[in-house]
Amino acid sequence: MKVLVTGGAGFIGSNFVYLILKERPSWQVTVIDKLGYAGNKQSLEGALDKITFVKGNICDEGLIDSLVADSDAVVHFAAESHNDNSIANPWPFIESNLIGTYRILEAVRKHSKRLHHISTDEVYGDLELDDPAKFTDKTPYNPSSPYSSTKAGSDLLVRAWVRSFGVQATISNCSNNYGPRQHVEKFIPRQITEVLLDRKPKLYGTGENIRDWIQVDDHNSAVLTILEKGKAGETYLIGANGEKNNKEVVEMILSLMGKDPMDYEHVTDRPGHDLRYAIDNSKLVDELSWQPHYTSFEDGLRATIDWYTHNDSWWKPQKAETEAKYKQAGH
């Protein structure tokens, strides 16, 4: 099996590469990544001698065509993914998430290759805090940011190519990931690294917004399951029943790091900040027999804190520029 992983130097993609090397050692893995600010070749340090790495842009038609032609399957992680950045400058999201996905779809169509497309639960909009409902693959799309809108668009492109051209593709929409190698702009690593630098974590608004957290290895084990067992044309929602509000998460981080759990700052809320995400993973569990490994959010968070504590050479180069951007935005 020859697998092309787009965005394989990013957070989820790099962790997927390590999972493949561990669980499917006979597979040949090629990674394409443009190494933008959120792509870090250092994230693949332990894998570079076992994979083929290509620095390149998924919007490059010729490059994508040649890489897809030489693969059996494509796992498409590559995307611009930070909501705050999409509000400040939507264009990179249009380019990567829509045009890049189009290039991949045309290549897999031309060469009759298998595709798995990685997406987000944010395409569904948000739920009320007291709503008992969860997102399913039948939930109507209702994106609220340039990021989630472009991911919704990319999902619809995949569905259209399946229906119009018979492309053998599956889609997964996953809840919020956490774990090793996540850029410090993201919520959990930002708070952990603030504490490690002896500064107070920052909490948007009142912190009542709820996210459904999943450890990145659980997400990737689900992706591997879908790649091998999923039915073409189907959408699978990936989640681990990990609903926590942002206030709870910040306080848990502080507590696990030996600090006063109330020692954080409230900052200006993000415009259009979604209230609650929640995933119904029953289709994935019932049809493909998948189960998460990390059933305790606290255990997963403790392991994540440990990784950032012992890998400051990985995250420190990102930190100053990231906090400068937040400061400029008033966050």
Which is catalytic among the residues 102, 124, 147, 277? Answer: 147
Going from the C-alpha of 57 to that of each of 40, 155, 228, the distances in angstroms are 14, 19, 26
User: The sheet that has 210-215: what strands, in order across it?
Assistant: 176-178, 210-215, 243-245
Q: Is 147 in the active site?
A: yes
Read off the DSSP letter of residue 42.
Answer: G
Angle at 139 between CA 137 and CA 144, to 5 degrees: 115
Give the Cα separation of 180 and 67 in Å (integer): 28
Q: How far apart are CA 95 and CA 60, in angstroms?
A: 11
Given the residues 33, 80, 122, 126, the one annotated as active site: 122
Token pair 């400061």 is at which residue? 327
Cα 308 to Cα 12, 61, 273: the distances in Å are 16, 37, 27
- Catalytic residue from among 33, 80, 102, 121: 121
What's the chain's length in residues? 331
What does the alpha-carbon distance between residue 226 and residue 40 come to, in Å, rounded to a whole number? Answer: 26
Residue 327 burial by Cβ neighbours in a 10 Å radius (0-12, 13-18, 19+): exposed
Q: Which residue has the tokens 């038609």?
A: 61
Three-point CA angle 198, 204, 207, nearest 5°: 100
- CA-based nearest residue to 175, from 136, 144, 226, 203: 136
Q: Which amino acids are annotated catalytic? A: 121-122, 147
